[in-house]
Amino acid sequence: MSKCVHCGSGKFGHGCEKSLNGLHQHNTDEKRCMFCGSSSYGNGCLQTPTRKHIHGSGGGKCKYCGVLVGANVMGCQHSPNRKHES
């Protein structure tokens, strides 16, 4: 089970008293959005101002769209800088 990097809780979303934005953040689970816990990619995260799901790092996948990151890093429609990032 992943834990919030700020407070160590297993919860997602609002309620973290130790983060600056009040959100629990799980950076180590590549299968789930680090802010809401959903397995979805792209639009739909209600916990972030951009409304985009951002997964934890790992697995060689882009944390914004789920594509395997290889030689071609450009072209992610969900990343703020349009690059695939793992």
Looking at the structure of the chain, the number of domains it has is: 1
Q: In which domain, by residue range, is 72 found?
A: 1-86
Whole-number Å distance between alpha carbons of 74 and 81: 9
The DSSP code sequence of 10-79 is S--EE--SSSTTSEE---S-TTSBTTT--S--EE--TTSTT-EE-BPS-TTB-TTT-PBPSS--B--SSS
Query: Environment class of residue 67 by beta-carbon count within 10 Å: exposed (0-12), middle (13-18) or buried (19+)?
Result: middle
The pLDDT tens digits for 42-72 are 999 999 888 999 999 888 899 999 999 876 7
The pLDDT tens digits for 33-47 are 999 999 999 999 999
pTM: 0.87
